[in-house]
């Protein structure tokens, strides 16, 4: 199959850990590589966000990234990208004049918009099916972030419209299926394919980085409030009171190296909380860490702790599990599927420092428990979440889309699709 991926803000080539670069970048790169291993040809379209990027780059056999001029050639926060989606769509559709894809797969709602627009610009009578993975949903984000949500206002009606007009939606976890149905998407058009973990990069055994304190707990991810790193900081004094004073919290992710990260506004907020609670000396910000250095860091930890307010999927717990490290996870979104309570980690309620401290204390006190959860996590990651398996499930969804799409179907025009501007669902 010839497959176009559209990933407007999340390039497979970007450095990870910054505000807008995380799981989606990993997902698009790894899924494309795994589909290519199955013999498919993949072109990933992303926005040109720097002047010095080549137009086309081959990143793996049968996978190329095409940078499309759409808005300024510099970093633009993803929530400001909507005005450039029509230009992105035109650039993609022009590129299709060289070679038309059999199917296009949009990642994130704005890419879905651009993918649908690009298919409308092709020759009349040619329907290119669109498969959509949202990665995150505006409805969920608004519910949790309220007025702090910086998404464009139009997301309220454009995102559900993308969902209705795409030929098939791929949800990454069972929780998302409920949300999609609530958005009005018929269940028959929804498939599930989770994110995966790179088992070559995160093999079971290997070197662990050195650590200086008796215990290390690890938080990995973009440094944004909804990842809930403050919950873990608030758990540190409680852990101390429970008899674990020599614990380091290592925080990986942020806008640059450790020093730049400490200047970041979210890091400053977190450091202020740590100072106020008297645990500043226990918190280390490592900043952005390249992929290859991640396995050693995971293995240096007694536990990985993920305490987001909500989580569309969450690749970090899978990486921890692949490395044999137990996960303390808020029981939200995708984490409820990946981390099995009392088998591969411990579930806790979101935004709950007391429960976080209690779960961590249980793990730190019991090496046997850590080992058995770690072993089970490793087995689960290997048996269920290899990218090869995820690619096979995605391919199944593609084939269903190709056979199920009525010949001659055409995606709605923009006017048909968004008839009442502002009619939020």
Q: Is 228 in the site for ligand UDP (CB under 6 A)?
A: no
In three-state form (DSSP H/G/I as H, E/B as E, the rest C), the secondary structure along the chain is: CEEEEECCCCCCCCCCCCCCCCHHHHHHHHHHHHHHHCCCEEEEEEECCCCCCCCEEEEECCEEEEEECCCCCCCCCHHHCHHHHHHHHHHHHHHCCCCCCCEEEEECHHHHHHHHHHHHCCCCCCCCCEEEECCCCHHHHHHHHHHHCCCCCCHHHHHHHHHHHCCEEEECCHHHHHHHHHCCCCHHHEEECCCCECCCCCCCCCCCCCCCCCEEEEEECCCCHHHCHHHHHHHHHHHHHCCCCCEEEEEEECCCCHHHHHHCHHHHHHHHHHHHCCCHHHEEEEECCCHHHHHHHHHCCCEEEECCCCCCCCCHHHHHHHCCCCEEEECCCCHHHHCCECCCEEEECCCCHHHHHHHHHHHHHCHHHHHHHHHHHHHHHHHHCEHHHHHHHHHHHHHHHHHHCCCCCCCCCHHHHCCCCCCCC
Q: Is 255 in the site for ligand UDP (CB under 6 A)?
A: no
Q: Is 333 in the site for ligand UDP (CB under 6 A)?
A: no
In the bound state, the residue with its beta carbon closest to ligand UDP is 22
Least distance to ligand UDP, CB of residue 11, Å:
13
What does residue 374 show for φ and ψ, rounded to 5 degrees?
-60, -45
Query: Would you say 253 or 326 has its CB closer to ligand UDP?
Result: 253
Taking CB under 6 A as the binding criterion, the range among 14-22, 34-42, 67-75, 167-175 that sits at the site for ligand UDP is 14-22
Q: Is 63 in the site for ligand UDP (CB under 6 A)?
A: no
Query: Would you say 244 or 313 has its CB closer to ligand UDP?
Result: 313
Least distance to ligand UDP, CB of residue 310, Å:
10
Answer for which of 28, 229, 277, 289 binds ligand UDP (CB under 6 A) is: 289
Taking CB under 6 A as the binding criterion, the range among 41-49, 237-245, 308-316, 363-371 that sits at the site for ligand UDP is 308-316
Q: Is 294 in the site for ligand UDP (CB under 6 A)?
A: yes
Taking CB under 6 A as the binding criterion, the range among 56-64, 92-100, 218-226, 228-236 that sits at the site for ligand UDP is 218-226
Q: Is 313 in the site for ligand UDP (CB under 6 A)?
A: yes
Q: Is 71 in the site for ligand UDP (CB under 6 A)?
A: no
Answer for which of 17, 91, 129, 138 binds ligand UDP (CB under 6 A) is: 17
Q: Is 389 in the site for ligand UDP (CB under 6 A)?
A: no
Least distance to ligand UDP, CB of residue 359, Å:
19
Least distance to ligand UDP, CB of residue 47, Å:
18
Answer for which of 120, 144, 211, 291 binds ligand UDP (CB under 6 A) is: 291
Least distance to ligand UDP, CB of residue 230, Å:
16
Least distance to ligand UDP, CB of residue 120, Å:
29
Query: Would you say 40 or 141 has its CB closer to ligand UDP?
Result: 141
Q: Is 138 in the site for ligand UDP (CB under 6 A)?
A: no
Least distance to ligand UDP, CB of residue 121, Å:
30
Least distance to ligand UDP, CB of residue 396, Å:
23
Contact 181, 203 (CB under 8 A): no
Distances (CA, A) of 303 to 189, 205, 377: 38, 16, 12
Q: Using CB under 6 A, list all residues that contact ligand UDP.
A: 16-17, 22-24, 26, 220-222, 252-253, 288-289, 291, 294, 313-316, 319
């Amino acid at each position: 199959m010839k497959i176009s991926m559209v990933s407007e803000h999340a390039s497979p080539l970007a450095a990870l850990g910054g505000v807008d670069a995380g799981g989606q970048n990993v997902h698009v790169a790894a899924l494309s590589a795994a589909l290519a291993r199955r013999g498919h040809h993949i072109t990933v379209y992303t926005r040109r966000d720097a002047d010095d990027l080549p137009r086309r780059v081959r990143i793996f056999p049968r996978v190329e990234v095409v940078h499309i001029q759409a808005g300024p050639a510099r970093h633009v926060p993803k929530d400001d990208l909507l005005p450039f989606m029509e230009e992105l769509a035109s650039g993609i559709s022009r590129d299709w004049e060289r070679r038309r894809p059999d199917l296009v797969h949009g990642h994130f709602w704005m890419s879905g918009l651009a993918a649908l627009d690009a298919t409308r610009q092709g020759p009349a009578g040619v329907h290119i099916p669109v498969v959509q993975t949202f990665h995150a949903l505006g409805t969920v984000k608004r519910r949790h972030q309220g007025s702090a949500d910086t998404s464009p206002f139009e997301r309220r009606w454009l995102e559900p419209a993308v969902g209705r007009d795409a030929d098939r939606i791929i949800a990454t976890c069972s929780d998302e299926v409920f949300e999609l149905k609530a958005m009005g998407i018929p269940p028959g058009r929804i498939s599930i394919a989770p994110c995966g973990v790179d088992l070559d990069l995160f093999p079971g055994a290997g070197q662990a980085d050195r650590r200086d304190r008796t215990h290390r707990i690890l938080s990995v991810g973009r440094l944004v409030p909804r990842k809930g790193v403050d919950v873990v900081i608030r758990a540190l004094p409680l852990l101390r009171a429970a008899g674990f004073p020599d614990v380091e919290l290592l925080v990986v992710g942020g806008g640059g190296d450790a020093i730049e990260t400490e200047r970041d506004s979210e890091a400053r907020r977190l450091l202020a909380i740590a100072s106020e609670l008297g645990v500043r000396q226990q918190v280390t910000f490592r900043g952005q860490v390249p992929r290859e250095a991640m396995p050693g860091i995971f293995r240096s930890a007694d536990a990985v702790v993920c305490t987001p307010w909500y989580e569309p999927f969450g690749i970090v717990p899978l990486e921890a599990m692949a490395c044999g490290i137990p996960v303390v996870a808020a029981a939200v979104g995708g984490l409820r599927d990946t981390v099995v309570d009392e088998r591969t980690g411990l579930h806790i309620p979101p935004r709950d420092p007391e429960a976080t401290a209690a779960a961590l204390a249980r793990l730190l006190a019991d090496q046997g428990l850590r080992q058995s959860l770690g072993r089970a996590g490793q087995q689960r990651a290997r048996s269920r979440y290899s990218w090869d398996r995820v690619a096979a499930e995605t391919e199944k969804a593609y084939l269903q889309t190709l056979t199920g799409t009525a010949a001659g179907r055409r995606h709605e025009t923009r006017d048909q699709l968004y008839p009442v501007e502002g009619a939020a669902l």
